[in-house]
Structure 1
Amino acid sequence: MEFLVNIKIEWPADGDPERWARIVAEERAMAARLAEAGHLVRIWRVPGRRENWGVWRASSASELHEILSGLPVWPWMDLTVHPLAWHPADPDPHDPRPESPIGLGPAG
């Protein structure tokens, strides 16, 4: 399954900057591992904010929760998760999904 995830970081204004630097380094290292494992597909920064949008893959919403709650910045995250489904007008010709059993294109 794919999910569109919006993550807003609510780090306290009086938070320790050294701790923040460590958390950011840990977060980037974990993001690289999650990307390598196929869970983090794409990610975009929202300019001027501690916020991002990403496409994530997991076998279920429960697995996605386990992944996201394991992130170092989890205690300061405000999340919005949108499950995604395949659309028959998707222009991606590289979509790897097999044909639908009812002949309407790739299965969703």
Structure 2
Amino acid sequence: MEFLVNIKLRWSDDMDPELKAKVIRDERAHAAELIKEGHLVRMWRVPCRFENWGLWRAADATQLHEIITSLPANPWMYDIDVLPLAKHPVDPIHTAA
């Protein structure tokens, strides 16, 4: 099952710069594993904002919840929107000859 996920982040104002750097490193390493496992399909940054949109794959909403909450930056994610996606009959990936 595919999900379109929007995540907004906000670092703590008094966050230790070393902790922030560690979380960012850990987040990238964890994302690389999720890519290998086929869960993280695509990721886009929103210009001029500290947020992203991602195309994620999971067996169901429960598994997606487990994946998102396992992200190292999860404690600083303050707004997460999840849109479950269904196949469309005119999706170019399925209609291309």
TM-score (norm 1): 0.83
Identity %: 59
Q: In the alignment, which residue of structure 1 is the partner of 2:93? A: 92
SS where residue 93 of structure 2 aligns?
coil
SS where residue 47 of structure 1 aligns?
coil
Give the AA of the match of 1:19: L
Structure with the largest fraction of strand: 2
Against the structure 1 CA distance between its residues 94 and 38, is the aligned structure 2 distance closer, same or farther, given a 3 Å change threshold? farther
Give the 4+ runs in structure 1 shifted more than 3 A.
Answer: none
Q: In the alignment, which residue of structure 2 is the partner of 1:27? A: 27
Give unmatched runs, 5+ long, in structure 1. 96-108
* Count of residue pairs brought into register by the alignment: 95
TM-score (norm 2): 0.91
SS where residue 92 of structure 1 aligns?
helix
Structure with the largest fraction of helix: 2
Give the AA of the match of 1:12: S
Alpha-carbon distance between aligned partners in 2 of 1:94 and 1:33, rounded to the nearest angstrom: 31
SS where residue 65 of structure 1 aligns?
helix
Following superposition, the deviation at residue 13 of structure 1 comes to 2.0
Give the AA of the match of 2:45: R
> Aligned ranges for residues 7-26 of structure 1 at < 5 Å?
7-26=7-26
More contact order relative to length (CA 8 Å, sep ≥ 6): 2
Q: In the alignment, which residue of structure 2 is the partner of 1:41? A: 41
Which has more radius of gyration? Answer: 1
Alpha-carbon distance between aligned partners in 2 of 1:22 and 1:48, rounded to the nearest angstrom: 23
Alpha-carbon distance between aligned partners in 1 of 2:47 and 2:30, rounded to the nearest angstrom: 22
Q: In the alignment, which residue of structure 1 is the partner of 2:82? A: 81
Alpha-carbon distance between aligned partners in 2 of 1:17 and 1:9, rounded to the nearest angstrom: 16
RMSD: 1.5
